[in-house]
């Protein structure tokens, strides 16, 4: 298989260590990355989120919801491949295939989004953000380490997931994750709305190069559709998107997730990574500047973060994941200019890992931000 790095456009400018701008050396960055990896994967009981089990498996534990989720497992795999940690990657993937894979029913070919640490499924359906990250992490693993015997035939496993995301339901059983009419990823298969934080056009561009040849056009359309969708979903004055949104990008109010809240934090991180890998677009810079300016004006103290309407109106509820919010806001620094981004780079560098019950989600976003801003979140 041709390496996906060959498909990076000439306009891309990846892998810059932005912390140089605030006087942080490469050696300090490397130490911090190692510190974060060791604490999250092998640290004490108040910090770690990774737990090996048996001789050849392990899981990422959602410490706030007390389960194992496809979100966390796929995040763990992406972090492992970025860190060149094949043993951890293979343990996570083996656990995923053993306990999360759905072999029968309308969601056959997908993964149960919530499972107990003992392997008992708590859900019979998937959450598409897990499948997206599984597929991308598997493709990177294939390019970095090579394929071997199932289930470690990484590229075949990835293409199987990508095929299911597009074609499930064509035989009348089940539903795809990508809406065939508008090429937008769905919140769950079979629904008629989306989650802006699920939109990963930078992944879709790479999927198009690595999927079954017949699906090339569909993944290219998904990338284009998501790019336009994110422009509509982000408020022009604040840069915020909602947790759930309609197909036109407007906040969806039926489920009570019309706010800029936990899921939505990832939108800024995703836009930043897309710009890093595939070149900046003017609308991305506008979004990054808007959201960084809004929060800087309102203070960057963790205990000051609230729930927000996308227009910036505060709801009288504290943010559940303030560490994750500051981390993703800092990711926008790949698109903003000095002195604005310097403020965020300094704030993020001083931000510690979160400890305690809610640490899982915050620290995953923290680690992705650290890799991105230091030039270590790479295409393989």
263 part of the active site = yes
Q: Which of 263, 269, 274, 362 is catalytic?
A: 263
pLDDT digits (tens, 9 = 90+) for 35-64: 999 999 999 999 999 999 989 999 999 999
Give CA–CA dist 154/86, Å, rounded: 12
Q: Are 349 and 310 in contact (CB under 8 A)?
A: no
pLDDT digits (tens, 9 = 90+) for 158-190: 999 999 999 999 999 999 999 999 999 999 999
- The domain limits of the chain are 15-48+236-242+288-380, 51-233
Q: Which segments of the chain are extended strands (E)?
A: 50-53, 57-60, 68-69, 114-115, 306-308, 314-318
pLDDT digits (tens, 9 = 90+) for 77-129: 999 999 999 999 999 999 999 999 999 999 999 999 999 999 999 999 999 99
pLDDT digits (tens, 9 = 90+) for 318-358: 999 999 999 999 999 999 999 999 999 999 999 999 999 99
What is the chain's percent helix, strand, coil content, to nearest 5?
Answer: 50, 10, 40
The burial of 5, by beta-carbon neighbours within 10 Å (0-12 exposed, 13-18 middle, 19 or more buried), is given as: middle
* pLDDT at residue 263, as a whole number: 97
Confidence of residue 14 (pLDDT cuts 50, 70, 90): low
Q: Which of 62, 71, 90, 274 is catalytic?
A: 71
34: tokens are 């190692």
CA nearest to 244, candidates 190, 292, 287, 198:
198
Q: Are 321 and 336 in contact (CB under 8 A)?
A: no
First to last CA, the chain: 12
The position carrying tokens 């690595």 is: 210
62 part of the active site = no
CA nearest to 257, candidates 304, 157, 187:
187
* pLDDT at residue 255, as a whole number: 85
Three-state SS for 162-174 is HHHHHHCCCCCCC
Q: Which CATH number is 51-233's, of 1.20.120.1200, 1.50.10.10, 1.10.150.110, 1.10.287.110? A: 1.50.10.10
């Amino acid at each position: 298989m041709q390496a996906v790095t060959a498909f990076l456009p000439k306009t891309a400018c990846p892998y810059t260590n932005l912390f140089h701008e605030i006087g942080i050396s490469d050696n300090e960055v490397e130490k911090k990355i190692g510190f974060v990896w060791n604490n999250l994967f092998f640290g004490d009981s108040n910090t770690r989120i990774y737990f090996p089990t048996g001789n050849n498996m392990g899981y990422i534990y959602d410490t706030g919801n007390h389960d194992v989720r496809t979100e966390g497992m796929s995040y763990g795999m992406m972090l492992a491949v970025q860190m060149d940690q094949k043993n951890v990657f293979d343990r996570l993937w083996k656990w995923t295939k053993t306990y999360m894979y759905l072999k029968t029913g309308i969601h056959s070919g997908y993964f149960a989004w919530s499972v107990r640490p003992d392997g008992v499924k708590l859900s019979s359906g998937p959450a598409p953000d897990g499948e997206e990250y599984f597929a991308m992490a598997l493709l990177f693993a294939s390019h970095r380490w090579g394929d071997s015997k199932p289930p470690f035939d990484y590229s075949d496993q990835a293409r199987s997931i990508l095929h299911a995301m597009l074609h499930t339901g064509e035989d009348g059983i089940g539903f795809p994750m990508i809406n065939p009419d508008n090429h937008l990823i769905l919140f769950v298969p079979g629904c008629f709305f989306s989650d802006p934080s699920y939109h990963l056009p930078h992944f879709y561009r790479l999927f198009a190069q690595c999927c079954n040849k017949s699906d090339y056009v569909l993944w290219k359309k998904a990338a284009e559709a998501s790019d336009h969708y994110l422009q509509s979903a982000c408020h022009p004055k604040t840069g915020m998107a909602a947790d759930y949104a309609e197909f036109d990008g407007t906040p969806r109010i039926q489920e009570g997730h019309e706010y800029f809240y936990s899921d939505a934090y990832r939108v800024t991180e995703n836009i930043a990574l897309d710009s890093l890998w595939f070149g900046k677009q003017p609308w991305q810079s506008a979004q990054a500047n808007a959201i960084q300016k809004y929060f800087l004006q309102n203070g960057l103290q963790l205990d000051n973060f609230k729930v927000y309407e996308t227009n910036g109106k505060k709801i009288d509820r504290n943010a559940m994941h303030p560490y994750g919010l500051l981390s993703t806001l800092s990711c926008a620094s790949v698109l903003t200019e000095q002195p604005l981004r310097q403020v965020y780079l300094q704030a993020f560098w001083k931000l510690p890992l979160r400890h305690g019950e809610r640490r899982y989600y915050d620290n995953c976003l923290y680690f992705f931000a650290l890799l991105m801003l230091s030039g270590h979140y790479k295409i393989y």
